[in-house]
Amino acid sequence: MRLQICAEIEGLFLLKGEIIAKLYPYEFALYEKDEKRFISITKSIKDYMKYAPKLYVKDGITHIEATKHEIYKDMEEWLYYIEAMGAFNFEISKIHVDELEVNWIYETDDEKGQIPITSLKRNKQERKAEKYVANSNLSNLVIFRRMLPEAHIPFSYYRQAKAFFDDSNYYFAFINYFMMLEFCFAEGNFHKQKMTGSFLKSNLLKLCVLSAISMIKERDNNTGNYKWLLDECKTRQKDVNFEGIVYVLIEYRGLLSHATTRSKKYLFDDYKLRSLAFITSLICFLLCGYIQIYCSSSEESKNKLMQERISKLEEELYNNSPK
């Protein structure tokens, strides 16, 4: 049995026909289909039944268990390699690994019918516009510039981060979300200890972090985001509170902002960073809202409102349940 992975490939290059290269045990191919270009990698698998998809019925519901990732992880890594090296060699711009198709190809008649599902594809969920822009939306946006003359700078980091997040590029999503926080709260400090001190002084950031913790805890719905928070804080001997989350974010900022042996594993396995990027995105989303909500309030009024909300969140999170 042969296992094949396929993905759409984009770039400023042309194909006259199918291009094939071989390096044992792999066969690589570039080809066109339906006016799009694709790349495939194929290899033979002997003990294929250990890894192949499974179809079973449980409680009257049909379930599909996809091909085990471990058997094609090496092929996926080849796609990342070709994407990176091909950017220079023939101007590849992107390989859609996030929409990977995994195929099983029969080599003998005896293998036919052994696997119930021979092809599965990851489908990226496309977001659709759901809200109309009103006159008040544009008017408020114009007025905000008078009260928040530099707001477009952190909001630009938010825009870039969101684009990366929506493209499942969680590594650079987190980097840009963190740059928004850095611009707003670091006070020009870059060293971990001083940056931590600056972050912890901000009631606005504390409000955003506690609000995010509350929302994640309440709406986790088996996504694993709250468990990720618990595990990360436990590993670092921190509580799931403002100080603990700030510590985790700054630790990851240091790890992912530098090209080291410790960070390279995340560069080509973005999904490990999904919970980190999601939690940081929620903090930054709340920050965008609070910046606009409080922009017309006096400092005294703003601080009073924030402190009241912080006290309520701390009561809900820590006084009524274990840490």
CA dist 201 and 40 (Å) reads 52
Q: What is the pLDDT of residue 79?
A: 94
Q: What is the pLDDT of residue 296?
A: 73
Q: What is the pLDDT of residue 182?
A: 95
Q: What is the pLDDT of residue 221?
A: 60
> Does the global pTM surpass 0.75?
yes
CA dist 157 and 139 (Å) reads 23
Q: What is the pLDDT of residue 322?
A: 46
Length of the chain: 323
Alpha helices in 201-319 (DSSP H): 203-218, 225-235, 242-256, 264-267, 274-294, 299-314
CA distances from 30 to 37, 45, 96, 131, 291 (A): 7, 22, 14, 40, 49
Query: In which region does residue 15 sit, left (phi positive, over 0), alpha (psi from -120 to 50) or beta (all else)?
Result: beta
Q: Can you tell me the mean pLDDT for 31-43?
A: 95
Q: For 118-142, what is each residue's pLDDT tens digit?
A: 899 887 777 787 888 888 888 877 8
Which percentage of the chain shows pLDDT scores above 70?
A: 97
Show the tokens assigned to 54: 């499974």
Residues whose CB is less than 8 angstroms from the CB of residue 105 and which lie 6 or more positions away in sequence, other chains included: 1, 2, 3, 4, 42, 118
Q: For 186-219, what is each residue's pLDDT tens digit?
A: 988 889 899 999 999 999 999 999 999 999 988 8
- Considering 64-78, 143-157, 251-265, the range whose residues carry the highest mean pLDDT is 64-78
Q: Can you tell me the mean pLDDT for 301-319?
A: 89
- Burial of 178 (C-beta count, 10 Å sphere; 0-12/13-18/19+): buried
Give the HSE-up count for residue 36: Cα atoms under 13 Å, Cβ half-sphere: 11
